[in-house]
Amino acid sequence: MNKATRLPLHAGVGFKPEHFAAIDAAPQPIGFFEIHAENYMGAGGPPHAKLKRLHEDYALSIHGVGLSIGSMQALDRDHLARLKSLCDRYEPESFSEHLAWSSHDNVFLNDLLPLPYTEATLARVVQHVDQVQSSLGRRMLLETPSTYLIFEESTIAEADFLREIARRTGCGLLLDVNNVFVSATNHRLDARDYLASFPLDCVGEIHLSGHAVTTDETGATLLIDAHDSPVADPVWALYEKVVERLGRVATLVEWDNDLPDWPVLRREAEAAEVVLDRAARKAAA
């Protein structure tokens, strides 16, 4: 690894082409934009023209959703090569992927699936993270998952699992506060206890997003990481506690479905910026 850049310690949003005209019309109070890598693996055309223009004025985070880094199978070398080409093309300030798996036997399942936290899984994920960082020539961030089940064979707590991956590989962590709240609620746990044990010193970025509320077959509350609504109040509260401990940190608001108009998404980022500013003032007092 030899490329060590980082995102501005401000709030950003996921870039959607539908918002490009509004963003390009005037400077925006946005620290950075994030894209999904798989949407930009073509050679050219309007997507790349817009992204090139955007990156002239704003920092860029590239976020992968298809590496299947938690799979027990080998990484797809062709996919990794396309990812390297994209990162070399744009030199983003950050690259991140999920602690999840999404493919098996050449079938892409179009989902971010959980994995058991065992020594065998840990060794495999470490191997994959090392391979990604070596191939890209840059440090990556690994994102906390949202989960809907717990594996009986798991022997390592999730926070400890992530801490050990970071220790062995030198990667950073992407703390998705909404994912923490979703998982804790689904498993009848306390999100504050999870965050108290989390290795915040490894965090290079935070994600915030909305979630959907439904019920399972027993009538119990079930949360879905839907990315289709504003950040919920309990997630804002957890985020504020994290930032009070961590200080200013690059924070992304994700909104991928039922996309709102640009001013609505911008206001979510501005709300995150208010939390960051408040934490900075407390730290300076």
Q: Is the pLDDT of residue 56 over 90?
A: yes
When the pLDDT of each residue in the chain is averaged and rounded to a whole number, the result is 92
Whether pLDDT at 166 is above 90: yes
Q: pLDDT band for position 182 (50/70/90)?
A: very high
Residue 114 has what pLDDT?
Answer: 84
* Average pLDDT rounded to a whole number, residues 8-18: 97
pLDDT of residue 106 exceeding 90, the answer is no
Asked if residue 97 has pLDDT above 60, the reply is yes
Select from 248, 208, 250 the least CA-distant residue to 93.
250
Angle 158-169/119-136 helices, nearest 10 degrees?
40
Domain boundaries, the chain: 11-284
Instruction: Kindly tell me if the per-residue pLDDT of 195 is higher than 90.
Output: yes
If pLDDT is split at 50, 70 and 90, which confidence band does 247 have? very high
Residue 103: per-residue pLDDT:
52
Euclidean distance between CA atoms 34 and 21, whole angstroms: 17
The model carries a pTM of 0.93
Q: Domain 11-284, what architecture? A: Alpha-Beta Barrel (3.20)
The reported pLDDT for the residue numbered 109 is 47
The amino acid that residue 241 corresponds to is K
The proportion of the chain whose per-residue pLDDT surpasses 90, expressed as a percent, equals 79
pLDDT at 215 exceeding the cut of 90: no
**HEC readout, 105-173:** CCEEEEEEECCCCCHHHHHHHHHHHHHHHHHHCECCEEECCCCCCCCCCCCCCHHHHHHHHHHHHCCEE
